[in-house]
A = this chain, B = another copy of it.
Amino acid sequence: MKISAQEEYGLRCLVQLANLKDGETLTLPQIAEREGISTANAGKLMWLLNKAGFVNSTRGTKGGYFLARPAQEIFLNEIIKVLDEDVLSSHCESYTGILDKCIHTGDCGIRPVIVGLHEIVENALSRITLAGLVGNEEAVDAMFHQIQGIHRTIQPQKIV
């Protein structure tokens, strides 16, 4: 269970836009440079996010991308849903092995756990807005743990 490349980079691009002051925009090369990805890749991601209604763009000289809505109103679960398809509602249609349908229709001991896990993640993400990701690492970390009400039971990772 992990974050896909599209989720990771897409989120990061949006955070760049969330950092902008009102009226400012970023071009593809700027976004690409700030995230260390290729311009082509940034282009594809922004196209997705544009289609999904998270960003708007203007073409031509002085053009660029900007958030379509205030960062305070964009929740991470909406973003993830777009960047990685909505997996919560389709689990039993994937993983059908060599059959047309999952063999465990009717009664399945795995489903509650998998679906429950996805719910937990969805739930956690639905409490965080893009605006919450703006700021330094310490502040974001505090925000996250305060919102989730988590006491660390796992060793914090080494900060690189």
Residues 123-145 of chain A, each 1 if its beta carbon lies under 8 Å from chain B, else 0 = 11110100001111100110011
Closest-CB distance, A16 to chain B (whole angstroms): 10
Q: Which of A56-88 contact B (CB under 8 A)?
A: 76, 80, 84, 87-88
**Is A136 a contact of B148 with CB atoms below 8 Å?**
no
In the complex, A137→B109 CA distance in Å? 5
Question: With contacts A113-B144, A116-B144 known, is A8 near B135, CB below 8 A?
Answer: no
**Is B88 a contact of A3 with CB atoms below 8 Å?**
no
In the complex, A20→B35 CA distance in Å? 51
Q: Which of B36, B108, B150 contacts A119 (CB 8 A)?
A: B150
In the complex, A117→B80 CA distance in Å? 12
Q: Which of A91-140 contact B (CB under 8 A)?
A: 91-92, 94-99, 102-126, 128, 133-137, 140
Residues 1-35 of chain A, each 1 if its beta carbon lies under 8 Å from chain B, else 0 = 11111011101100100000000000000000011
